[in-house]
Amino acid sequence: MSWRRAAREGGLALVIVTALLLLLLFSGSPWLRILETESFDLRFRVRGPQAPGPELALVMVDDRSLDALGRWPLSRRLFAQAVQRLDKAGARLIVFDLLFAEPERPADAHLQEAARQAVAELPPTQSPELRSALSKIAGDDPDGELAAAIRASGKVLLPLAFNFTGAEKPAPPWLAASDYQRLDDSPIPPIFPLQPKSAVVPLAPLAEASAGVGHASIAFDEDGAPRYDYLALPYDGDFVPSMPVRVAATYLGVPWPEVGLALGNGVSIGDLSIATDPAMRLPVNYRGPRGTFPTYSFMDLVQGAVPDEALKGRIVLIGASFIGLADSYAGPFGNTPIPGTERMASIIDSILRRDFIHEQPPPWPTIVLGLAMLLGLMTGVGVAMLPTRIAAIAGFAPIAVWCAGAQAAFMHGLWVPVANPAIALIVTTLGVLLFRYAVTDSQRRVIQGAFRHYLAPDLVNALADNPGRLKLGGDTRMLTIMFSDIRGFTSISETFKTDPQGLSRLINRGFLSPMTKIVMGERGTIDKYMGDCIMAFWNAPLDTPDHAGRACATALAMLRELDVINARLEAEAAADNRRFIPIHIGIGVNTGECVVGNMGSDERFAYTAFGDAVNLASRLEGQSKTYHVPLVIGEATRAAAPGWAALELDLIAVKGKQDAVHIYTLLGDPELARSPEFQRLAEDHAAMLAFYRAQDWPAAQAALDRCRERAPQLADFYDEYDERIAHFAADPPGADWNGVFVAETK
């Protein structure tokens, strides 16, 4: 039954998760994208910052630089000095993350022309200071100085930026030398969601003096964060590389014409391959929060305060980051924006380290779908097979497994989606749980409601898992049955004449509740309560192989609990100034074949047992009064639990039965049965009964006296045999006497 349910609910889960995955996959919802990118950023924080390589250093125009060197934009002459300073320090490559798109003209053009004319008209020997000042005005060319410094360095890269709106403008002629020169074959057709209309390019003299140009355009995700670098963008019939690609190729010494572009697939730089998605995007593998890379102030650089050792052999990125500049963006490591230059440094470092993050490259989309469907199937099967409370918790385990797997994949450079699969698995789990509650568990709740007061919780759950065992009608099973009744209940009732509610509390809470708990704790089934009497049995509705032993353990535990109950009742009676009458009980236990099942009608039935063994158990409980012992067990129970400490009471024909049976009283568990004291008592007790049935009255009396000394708690029982022996010694029963005692009472 459970496997059929697992197949049904597993199939339901598989249908739900597959439908949801496909629906979410093609929905294109921006909210789903935001959830995914948030989970992606969380993976960076779980991973933690990574130390970058030693190749990069950053020089930033910061607030200190503006305070010391002047307002923004700084003079190109200062940047020329920076290039010269870096050349002198031995920098391997100089990369500007600043656009030099407009010429710098510190003096008006008319003023410069007037200064040139004044110098030409001024006599050579007159006013050398004036001639020098006019010459500076006439020949002031910061852009020319920067172009000269760039040309002299031979290792300066400059950026350009694209506009994606507005009118289309052609590319400048010099840009062709910086476009991709080699196109490789690709089996994947490219997709370019970004189509540049125009470009903001550096001044032609600067660009022509540089070692190359790369685009530094940033595209933003749904949440406003720059999450990708576009390694190639189409512009005016050619494909322009991103600055990190130009930097990596130059640093690695790969000639630019040998850098290959496979549209929709990736870029190759010598033996270094950079795989992209069809849009030529590479996810940015952020190294850490702001300040992860060694960073120096531009002011310190131009003033010579940065040691050469910090710059020698490095790729030096020159950018800007000061209050009011918009070139800082959200990053995955917190709320502090990351300067665009640091973002570029992370991309360059990941390329040089060959440490990439790939977003579901083939065949991962198919693998992801298959794994999510498998986890959905496992969710349905798990919810069906596990108990309800555990299932409600375990149903969400596949989601945790998926998230953990996504993090592990991320640590190995793979961006596995979390949002869509997690949503699909959550809805699948809730759907299967609701289905189970509404359909599968409805019958279970009925069974639990009907049996929770009569069976131990684990038995109720097992029965609920196998409801087919509950049908109108009975089965013949070997059971152990127990009857327990309070002795002298009438006298106890008289003490509660003025407090009937108190009597009810005594019976229900004071006696029946703790005794029921003991029965159910030993996997017994409460058949019924008859006033102050309890009927219980073992080995139904579920199999209990050691049912006789469990019944014996229950009976002894009830007698021990009775001492606790009486102590409490005595204290309560003293507090209420009421006469205390201790509770005494009689217990009868018997084992035998019975008919057990749901007896009654289709509209109303009760789970009960009946048969000759049940009747005998009831009679044995009544005989506990005759033999002055609290507990009597039948010979079938004694045979089924031979290791327990039991003594034979008699060979008796109970009222209503002709056949005689051996009956026993139970004194303790198997540990007591193995004790030397009990074994000596059992030996003398057996000898007493043997002499008694052999009509050797003197020997029987002698053995009885020894037993009385060994077991003073059985004094009343031995008094009964004392009277019998005295009676039969005076009036022998005859040669045909078989030792059977015929009970006249129940």
Q: How many CB atoms lie within 10 A of CB 195?
A: 11
Please compute Rg for the chain using Cα positions. 48
Tell me, what's the pLDDT at 116? 57
* CA separation for the pair 709, 702 (Å, rounded): 11
Model confidence at 1, pLDDT cuts 50, 70, 90, reads: very low
Tell me, what's the pLDDT at 273? 96
Q: What is the pLDDT of residues 299-317, one digit of tens each?
A: 999 999 999 999 999 999 9
For the chain, the farthest-separated pair of C-alpha atoms sits apart, in whole angstroms, at 171
Question: For residue 371, what are its two tokens?
Answer: 């794994």
* CA separation for the pair 577, 571 (Å, rounded): 10
Higher pLDDT, residue 697 or 448 = 697
Tell me, what's the pLDDT at 601? 65
Tell me, what's the pLDDT at 451? 63
User: Taking a C-beta distance cutoff of 8 angstroms, is the pair 60, 291 a contact?
Assistant: no
* CA separation for the pair 349, 140 (Å, rounded): 39
Sequence spans of domains, the chain: 2-47+360-450, 56-359, 460-652, 675-738
Q: What is the pLDDT of residues 221-279, one digit of tens each?
A: 888 889 999 999 999 999 999 999 999 999 999 999 999 999 999 999 999 999 999 99
Q: What is the mean pLDDT of the chain?
A: 88
Helices (H), 51-155: 63-69, 76-89, 109-121, 128-139, 142-153
Percentage of the residues of the chain whose pLDDT score is greater than 90: 63
User: Taking a C-beta distance cutoff of 8 angstroms, is the pair 463, 470 a contact?
Assistant: yes
| Kind plus residue range of the DSSP H or E element containing 648 | strand 645-653
Region of residue 186 (left: phi > 0; alpha: psi -120 to 50; beta: else): beta
Residue type, 400: A
Domain boundaries 460-652, corresponding CATH code: 3.30.70.1230
Question: For residue 246, what are its two tokens?
Answer: 């130009």
Residue bearing tokens 């510190």: 106
Among residues 459, 452, 472, 446, the alpha carbon closest in space to that of 606 is found at: 472
Say if residue 219's pLDDT is above 70. Answer: yes
Contacts of 323 (CB under 8 A, 6+ apart): 63
Helices (H), 154-229: 204-209
Q: What is the pLDDT of residues 60-77, one digit of tens each?
A: 999 999 999 988 999 999
Q: How many CB atoms lie within 10 A of CB 655?
A: 13
Q: What is the pLDDT of residues 605-629, one digit of tens each?
A: 677 899 999 999 999 999 999 999 9
Q: What is the pLDDT of residues 565-574, one digit of tens each?
A: 999 988 988 8
Say if residue 483's pLDDT is above 70. Answer: yes
